[in-house]
């Protein structure tokens, strides 16, 4: 009827529409809260029997008990330490290998194809081998976490370095920067987006690897809590530990997001501090 095209109402004011109403992190928190609400409703109404899945108060009580008995925090500490050490080794070696392969042309083919093979092996299939080689205490656990976190950082940093526009390297050269200056002002910031993608995957993998690693001889750590709860058939404790894993995973995800917002402000379309 009307031959006028579409008319769009543009956001009024200066900022984006949602900005003033709620900060982003509050909005992001709504998802998990919604899940808890669903859980609360399903169990409180008896739609799901508490023998199948514990209620929210049950889990809360189980958690408080574990904390007050002085069991939970030491276990968390042991597990966090494993993740921290494994992650440090994994991230460090992934980064170093990526820089060597990315910066030193002759190393690229050998290193990269080697890492491709490595990627093709499911890391967790190495568990029996690690036990045979390294025993059942800390070293196989930390090694497994390191292995699971090294390759995401490697691949993403390597492709980050590879994808740096050669024209920026040339520009830096004409500005009088030497090799080290080019690494510092072009290669490092230029490969940062790739590295951060890798870091995010590595953090996810770290918690995953922790669960698998702590099934080896579970005498301490969150893995012990989990296997003890399973043996005692304590659903409330099992779910409590699962909730803890979820919280840790989300916390590390939030940390990477924070880091990205700090480091990648320069990217087009990135809304950060001005």
Compute the distance between CA of residue 189 and CA of residue 265 in angstroms, rounded to an integer: 11
Question: Considering the complex, what minimum distance in angstroms separates the CB of residue 268 from other proteins?
Answer: 4
- CA dist 271 to 15, 19, 24, 69, 260, Å? 10, 11, 11, 46, 11
Judged by beta carbon, residue 52 or residue 274, the one nearer other proteins is 274
Reported as half-sphere exposure (CB side, CA atoms, 13 A), residue 125 has a value of 5
Question: Considering the complex, what minimum distance in angstroms separates the CB of residue 263 from other proteins?
Answer: 9
Compute the distance between CA of residue 104 and CA of residue 94 in angstroms, rounded to an integer: 15
Compute the distance between CA of residue 11 and CA of residue 18 in angstroms, rounded to an integer: 10
The answer to whether 201 and 156 have CB atoms below 8 angstroms apart is yes
Question: Considering the complex, what minimum distance in angstroms separates the CB of residue 178 from other proteins?
Answer: 9
Compute the distance between CA of residue 146 and CA of residue 140 in angstroms, rounded to an integer: 10
Interface with other proteins (CB under 8 A): 167-168, 170-177, 181, 185-186, 189-190, 192, 265-268
Judged by beta carbon, residue 173 or residue 230, the one nearer other proteins is 173
The angle at the Cα of 84, spanning 103 to 191, to the nearest 5 degrees, equals 25
Question: Considering the complex, what minimum distance in angstroms separates the CB of residue 192 from other proteins?
Answer: 8
Judged by beta carbon, residue 122 or residue 268, the one nearer other proteins is 268
Judged by beta carbon, residue 212 or residue 259, the one nearer other proteins is 259
Question: Considering the complex, what minimum distance in angstroms separates the CB of residue 177 from other proteins?
Answer: 5
Judged by beta carbon, residue 54 or residue 160, the one nearer other proteins is 160
């Amino acid at each position: 009827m009307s031959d006028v095209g579409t008319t769009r109402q543009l956001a009024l004011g200066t900022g984006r529409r949602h900005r003033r109403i709620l900060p982003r992190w509050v909005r992001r928190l709504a998802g998990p809260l919604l899940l808890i609400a669903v859980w609360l409703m399903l169990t409180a109404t008896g739609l799901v029997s508490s023998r199948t899945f514990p209620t929210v108060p049950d889990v809360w009580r189980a958690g408080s008990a574990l904390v007050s008995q002085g069991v939970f925090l030491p276990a968390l500490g042991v597990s966090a330490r494993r993740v921290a050490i494994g992650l440090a080794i994994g991230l460090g070696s992934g980064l170093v290998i990526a820089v060597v392969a990315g910066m030193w042309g002759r190393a690229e083919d050998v290193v990269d194809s080697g890492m491709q093979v490595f990627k093709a092996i499911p890391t967790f299939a190495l568990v029996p081998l690690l036990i045979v080689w390294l025993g059942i205490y800390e070293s196989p656990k930390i090694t497994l976490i390191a292995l699971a976190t090294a390759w995401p950082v490697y691949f993403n940093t390597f492709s980050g370095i590879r994808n740096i526009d050669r024209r920026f390297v040339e520009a830096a050269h004409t500005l009088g920067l030497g090799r080290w200056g080019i690494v510092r002002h072009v290669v490092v910031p230029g490969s940062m987006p790739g590295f951060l993608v890798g870091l995010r995957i590595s953090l996810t993998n770290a918690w995953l690897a922790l669960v698998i690693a702590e099934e080896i001889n579970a005498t301490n750590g969150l893995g012990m809590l989990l296997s003890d709860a399973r043996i005692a058939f304590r659903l409330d404790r099992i779910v409590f530990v699962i909730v803890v894993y979820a919280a840790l995973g989300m916390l590390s995800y939030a940390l990477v997001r924070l880091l990205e917002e700090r480091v990648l402000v320069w990217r087009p379309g990135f809304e950060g501090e001005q």
